Structure 1
Amino acid sequence: MSMRQLSLIFQTFNVLDNHLKVVFFSYKVIFKTNKFDCQKRLFCVFPPPRNMSTIRLCDYDCVGFDLDNTLLQYNITNLITLEYQLLVDFLVDMKKYSPKYLKEPFTEKVMDFMQKGLILDFDRGNILKLDASGRIWRASHGTKLLTLEELESTYPGLRWDVTDKFFQDMFSTWNGELSLKIRALLDYFDMPVSLIFAKIVDTLDEEQKPSVYNIWPDIMEGLTHIFSREQFQNNGDFFSALKSNPEKYLHLCSSDTISWIRELKKKRKNFLITGSNADFIDFTAGYAFGKDWRSLFDIVVCYAKKPGFFVPTGRDFVPTGRDFLPTGRDFLRLEGYEEKCTIEAKELKEGGIYSQGNWKELTDFFTRITGKNNPKCLYLGDNLIQDVYVPNAFRDCDIIVVVDEQLAEKMVHHELSHSDEIIINSKFWGSYFSLEEPEGYRDSYWNHIIRNHSKVCIPKVEVIATIPLDQPIECFDKETKNANGYFPAKPLSLHV
C-alpha cells in the first residue's frame, strides 16, 4: 500500500468524523525474519481541533501509575472465574450456604449478570445501578430485575438517602457506619460479588425470606480470606493459582510500553502507587515487565491503602511534632518484603520502594527531587474511587482513567475488540457508560465520574504509549462541558 493510498484512508475517516483524533485501521506491516513474523498495527494521530481543551504528558512534572488493571493487565475471564470459584467454595464450605445456585455452572448466561460498578444494598438484598444524578436507574432483588413499580415502591422517587450520600461524596461510604449499608463493586477483583450476593438472596427467599439480609459480613470475610496479604506467603488458593500458572492470569507488558515508561522516566519523575503488597508486586511485575521492573520508576509505594492514602483524616492537618503532616499513615521502610520502622519524607530516596505512606509526604519528596514547590502531578489508574475520584477531588491531582469497557463495548470507527468482552459486558445491566431510555441515551453514574474527575479515558495504557510526550490529547473540561476526552475514540454507546 502506497503512502498516497494511506493518505486517502485518513481523509476518508476524517470526513466521517471531524472530531476523530486517532485512527486504528486494519492494514498491518509484516516484518519477516528467519525466525518469526512480527505484526505491528499502525497508530495515526491527528491533532485535536483548535479551541479544544487538551493535555500533554510533558506538561507534568511527575507521572504516576496504579499497577493492577492499569499497567498490569490480567486475563479478566480467568481471573474472575477463579475468584468466583474460591469465594463460592468459602461460603459453601465454611459458612454453610446452600450450593443450590452458587454451584451452578459458570456459563456465559450466568456471567451476564455481572458488571463492574454495581452497588449492593445489603439490608434489602438488592443490586443497584445509578444514573448521573445519583438516582437509582435499575435494580434487581437477587437475580430478579425489579419492575419500575417495584423500584418506586422500594425507593420512593428512585432515591435512597444512602446512595444520595454516596453521590455527594463517595469516600463517605468507604468506612464507618455507611459502609455497613452499601458497597460499590469497583474492579475485577470484587466484580463476582454481585452474582454471588444475588444468588444467596435467591436461596434465602426460597427458604424463608428474611426481613434483613445479613450476607455481606460473610462475603467480606471470604474476600479477606482470599486476598489478605498474608496469604501470598502462606500459598493461599488465589495466590497459589497465580504462582503456579502466571500465564493463565497475567498478560506480559509489551516491549513498546516498557520502552515508553523508560523514556518517560528520562524526562519526568515517575512513580508507582499500588494497594498490593511488596511480595505480590515483585511476582506480578517481575513476570509482566521483567526482573528489573523497579528500574522503571523513581519511587514505588506498595500496600498504599487507597483511597485513604490520598485523604488526611477529615481532610485536615494536625501538628505531629515534625512539621504539619496529614493524619494519614506513615511511610514504612522495607527489608525484603517485611515492613520495618517508619520513615520521614526527607528520608525517601529515588529508586526506593516503601510501604503504606500518604500523598502529602510523597509530594514533599517530589518537591525535593524536582526543585518545584508545587509539582504538577498526573496519575493513571482504573478504580473510580481509589484512583480517580479521591485523588482528584481531595488532592486536585489530574487523572487519566483506564477503563477496559471502552474497548469491550467497541469504539467509534474502530474494529478493535477486547479478548474478555463477554465477561465484561452485560446485556442485563446495559452499557457501562450510558443508560438507554425511550427518548435516547444518558450518562451512567460512572461515566459522570469519568467526565468530571479525569482528564482522559483510555482502554489501555498502551494507546498513549504510542504517541509523543508533547502530543496534545483532547480532554474532558467541566467548565466547557467538553466530553471528548475518550482516547482514542468514544465508546459506541455514547455516539448514538
Structure 2
Amino acid sequence: FCTMFSLKECDAIGFDMDHTLCRYVLSTQIELGHQALAQYLVKEKKYPKRLADPVLDDPNLVYCGGLLFDGQHKALVKMDENGKVEKAAFGTEMISDSEISKLYSSDMYCSHYSKVLSGTLSEKGVYHLHDNNFDMTLTVLLSRMMEIAEKQNNETKLNVFADFYEGISHAWDAASFSGGNSMFFEELKSNPGKYLHKCPDVVKTWLKALKAEGKVLFLLTSSHCDFAKHVMDYCFEDDWRSYFDVVISKAKKPRFFNEQFPFKVVDPDHVCELATEALELELNGWYSEGSSHVLHEHLKKWSGKESAKVVYFGDSVKSDIVPAKQKCDWEAVYIMDALRAEKGALNPLSGHEKSLLFSEGFGPLLKSTNGTGTCNSFFCKLIEKYATIAMPSVEYMASLPIDFQYSRLGNGNGYYPGKPNNILKQNYRLQES
C-alpha cells in the first residue's frame, strides 16, 4: 500500500458538480434552499411564518458538519471516534450532558455508530448523516420544525417527517426546473451570479492538461440534465462538455454506486432524457442514471488499462466519498469547505460562511472535546477511513503540478493545505484564520 497519492498515476478522473467542480456562494445558496422549503411548508402545511425566518438571523444556529440526526431521539448528535455522544441538540437548543446521559444511558454510546462507520450513512426515518452543504439547509429547517411541533397541542401535532420529505420533493423535483414551480430553481435561473462562482481559468487549464496527459475525464452528478446544463453553462460557459469524455447526470448517488440501473441517453440539443436505454456508452456522450459497475468497465476500455486506477472528487461523504471507495475501490478526494479556514487555502471563508460551517456549541469539527481532548471526532474517523485526501477546493488542487505527491489521510496527514489547525480548535468562530 502506497502512503502517497498522485493524479499522475490515475487513469480516469471524475468530478461531482455541485459544491465540487462548481462552487456556490454558501450564504445565499443555503438561504435560498431554506426559503424554498420553508415558504412551501408555511403556505401548504400551515406552519407558523417564523419557520421562514432567515437562517443567518438565528442567534441559536447550532449547525456544523459531521452531525448525525438520530430520529429516535429527534436529536442532532456529535460522536467521538468510539461512538460516544459528546454533544447533542434538540431543535436549536443544545442538550445538557445530564440529558444526553438519560437519552443514551450511562455510557452515552450511539447505537447507530457501527452501521454508519461501516458505510450505511442514512436510514430513512431512523438516522441521517448531515455532512454537506445541501444538508445544512435541511438541518436548520428540520430543527425548527421539531421545535414548533413540540409546542403544539397533542390534538394538532404536526407530521414533521412526512411534511419535511414532501417539501423536499416539491423544491427539488425532477420536473421543477422546466416546470417553473420551484422557487429554488426559478431564482437560480434568474440570478445565477448571486448563487454561483465562475470557474477560474486555473481549473479549466488544469482539466485540459489532464486530458492532454491521456486521462479519461468524466462528470458525474445527481443533478438532472437541465439543471446541470444551467449550472455548467454559467460556471464554465457553453463549451463545458469539451472538458469531459463523458457526462452522467441524474445519477441519484449513492444509488449509482449501490444498485444496478440502466443508462438513459440524454438529448443534448433539447436537454432532455430519452426513453432509449444505452447498451454501450460512447465517448463524448451524455447519459443519465446508470451504475458505477458499468461505468467502470467503460473507463477500463477507454483508458486501455485492465486495472484502471480511478479517482473521484466529491463534497459529500455520504453520496460521493464512502460509496466510491467502498463499492468501486476508487480513490476519493474529499472537497471540504471547512479547510478554507486554513492558512494558504484559496478563497478564504467569509464571516457568514464561518457562522454556517462551525458551531461553538458542538466544538471542533475533527476533534472530540471530551476528557483530554486527544480523541478524534467520529466525523474525522469517517473521513480518514474512506477518503484518500481532503482538499479545500478543486481550484487549490488545480494550482499544484499534476505529478504532485500527496500524503494520504491518517494520523492528521492528508489534509490540505496542511494540518487543519483551525478546525481542530475549540470555539473556532472566535478565532481569525
Q: When the two structures are superposed, what TM-score results if normalisation uses the length of structure 2?
A: 0.90
The one-character-per-residue Cα deviations of 1:132-166 (angstroms, maximum 9, x if unpaired) are: 22332211122221111111111122224344433
Amino acid at match of 1:276: S
Structure 2 unaligned runs (5+)? Answer: 426-433
Q: What secondary structure does 1:349 align onto?
A: coil
Q: What secondary structure does 2:151 align onto?
A: helix
The one-character-per-residue Cα deviations of 1:258-289 (angstroms, maximum 9, x if unpaired) are: 11011111211111110001111111001001
In the alignment, what sits opposite 1:121?
Answer: 70
The one-character-per-residue Cα deviations of 1:230-258 (angstroms, maximum 9, x if unpaired) are: 10001221110001000000000001111
Find the partner of 1:168 among 102, 108, 118. 118
Shift of 1:169: 3.1
State the distance in 1 between where 2:165 and 2:415 align. Answer: 34
State the distance in 1 between where 2:331 and 2:343 align. Answer: 25
In the alignment, what sits opposite 2:349?
Answer: 418
Change (3 A) 1:405 1:202: same
The answer as to whether partners of 1:331 and 1:342 remain within 8 angstroms in 2 is yes
The answer as to whether partners of 2:364 and 2:424 remain within 8 angstroms in 1 is no
In the alignment, what sits opposite 1:153?
Answer: 102
Change (3 A) 1:490 1:240: same
Overall identity of the aligned pairs, in %: 27
State the distance in 2 between where 1:495 and 1:97 align. Answer: 38
State the distance in 2 between where 1:133 and 1:205 align. Answer: 31
Pairing 1:467–2:400 present:
yes
State the distance in 2 between where 1:361 and 1:128 align. Answer: 37
Amino acid at match of 2:9: D
Shift of 1:74: 0.2
State the distance in 2 between where 1:203 and 1:305 align. Answer: 31
The answer as to whether partners of 2:314 and 2:333 remain within 8 angstroms in 1 is yes
Q: What secondary structure does 1:487 align onto?
A: coil
Q: What secondary structure does 2:363 align onto?
A: coil
In the alignment, what sits opposite 2:430?
Answer: none
Pairing 1:282–2:229 present:
yes
Shift of 1:441: 4.4
CA RMSD, Structure 1 to Structure 2 (Å): 2.4
Q: What secondary structure does 1:464 align onto?
A: helix
The answer as to whether partners of 2:391 and 2:416 remain within 8 angstroms in 1 is yes
Pairing 1:186–2:114 present:
no
**1:114-263 alignment, distance < 5 Å:** 114-156=63-105, 157-171=107-121, 173=122, 178-208=123-153, 214-235=159-180, 236-263=182-209
Shift of 1:123: 4.1
The answer as to whether partners of 1:122 and 1:216 remain within 8 angstroms in 2 is no
Q: When the two structures are superposed, what TM-score results if normalisation uses the length of structure 1?
A: 0.79
Change (3 A) 1:339 1:445: farther
Shift of 1:341: 1.2
The one-character-per-residue Cα deviations of 1:337-384 (angstroms, maximum 9, x if unpaired) are: 12321112xx21111110011111111111211222121101111100
The answer as to whether partners of 1:339 and 1:355 remain within 8 angstroms in 2 is no
Find the partner of 2:306 among 362, 368, 373. 373
**1:321-360 alignment, distance < 5 Å:** 328-335=260-267, 336=270, 337-344=272-279, 347-360=280-293
The answer as to whether partners of 1:60 and 1:377 remain within 8 angstroms in 2 is yes
Amino acid at match of 1:256: V
Q: Report the more deviating stretch, 224-233 or 433-442.
A: 433-442
State the distance in 2 between where 1:104 and 1:274 align. Answer: 31
State the distance in 2 between where 1:116 and 1:286 align. Answer: 29
Structure 1 ranges of 4+ moved more than 4 A:
412-416, 493-496
In the alignment, what sits opposite 2:17?
Answer: 67
Shift of 1:78: 0.0
The answer as to whether partners of 2:70 and 2:77 remain within 8 angstroms in 1 is yes
Q: What secondary structure does 1:68 align onto?
A: coil
Shift of 1:412: 5.4
Q: What secondary structure does 2:235 align onto?
A: helix
